[in-house]
Amino acid sequence: MKPRLLAHIALLLTNFFFAANFSAIKFLMNKSLVEPFGLNVMRAGFTAVLLWSFFFFKKTFGQIQRKDWPRFILCGITGIAVNQLLFLKGLQLTYPIHAALLMLVTPVIITIAAAFFLQEPLNVSKWIGLIMGIAGATILISGRKVGATASSPVLGDILVIINAISYAAYFILVRPLMEKYPPVVILRVIFTVGLAFIIPVGLTEFIRTPWAEYHLLDWSVMFLIVVCGTLLAYLFNVFGIRHLGASIAGSYIYVQPAFATIIAMIALNEKLSWVEALAGLLIFSGVYFSNKKAKRIHG
């Protein structure tokens, strides 16, 4: 099978795994089987151990140039520590469908950040996209969901948006590293850095995780979150970026809400309201308009 075709399959699986995470994590949290920061220790810790164990033959620290260490550390903070901590805490407080739709704000944020940090001018289309994306996110946050429960959906939605901003920063920071280092080396270092920040925050919650109450289904869901939704998802994502480029890899995030909504409706019996549908339409449109000029320039 050709590498480019494999890369497309890998990116599709990446976003399916990320979408499944919304419902899988919420499933364990609803049963009080895990707390968000404790789960972060499990995800980052297990992934870091596997990356070091499975790829021990890959040289790491000797390959990294001294000038790149600050960028690696920032990637570990933005892409692993802040990203995962805020995402899981936000997901605990809000609805899976809200979180999935709000993650679509990420491409809009990346476009706007690129305009400021990479000196790409903002044209009318980008401003329209920004306004529509903000409008969709505002409608989603302010809307009330009938027939579902969330302890603090507004705060949860805000944390998910901040998480999206952090991930956007990571996406921009990691691009130069992708051109210089193998994917495994990058992931190994940023997960190790991220874990160093996650452990002090989540160790207490991790220790009080009620492992004795887990049944086969619960362990299966945990496996899905840690192995498929973290380790494989990150590996497949960097594989896709390497073979197809960051732009194409980033566009695959558009399929996440569809996957996440279907899974949430089946697994958690959630319903898609007209408010969510309207907000999703605005956010999708915002993503389209905010990326319109980029396609003309690079196409």
- Residue range 216-220: mean pLDDT, rounded: 95
* Per-residue confidence band for 22, with pLDDT thresholds at 50, 70 and 90: confident
142: pLDDT strictly greater than 80? no
Name the token pair of 140.
């989603």
- Give the model confidence (pLDDT) of 168-202 as tens digits: 788 778 878 888 888 788 888 999 999 999 999 99
What predicted TM-score, i.e. pTM, was given to this entire model? 0.76
pLDDT of residue 295: 44
Average pLDDT over residues 194-222: 95
Q: Which of the four pLDDT bands, split at 50, 70 and 90, describes residue 147?
A: very low
Q: What is the mean pLDDT of residues 195-224?
A: 95
What are 31-75's pLDDT values in tens digits? 999 999 999 999 999 999 988 887 665 565 567 888 999 999 999
Least confident of 193-202, 223-232, 283-292: 283-292
Select the more confidently predicted residue: 291 or 137: 137
Which pLDDT belongs to residue 297?
A: 37
Question: CA of 37: how far to CAs of 16, 22, 44, 263, in Å?
Answer: 23, 15, 11, 23
Distance CA(114)–CA(143), nearest Å, equals: 30
Domain range list for the chain: 3-298
Q: pLDDT at position 59, please?
A: 60
- pLDDT per residue over 93-129, tens digit each? 887 777 777 777 766 666 666 666 656 566 777 677 7
Percent pLDDT > 70 in the chain is: 78
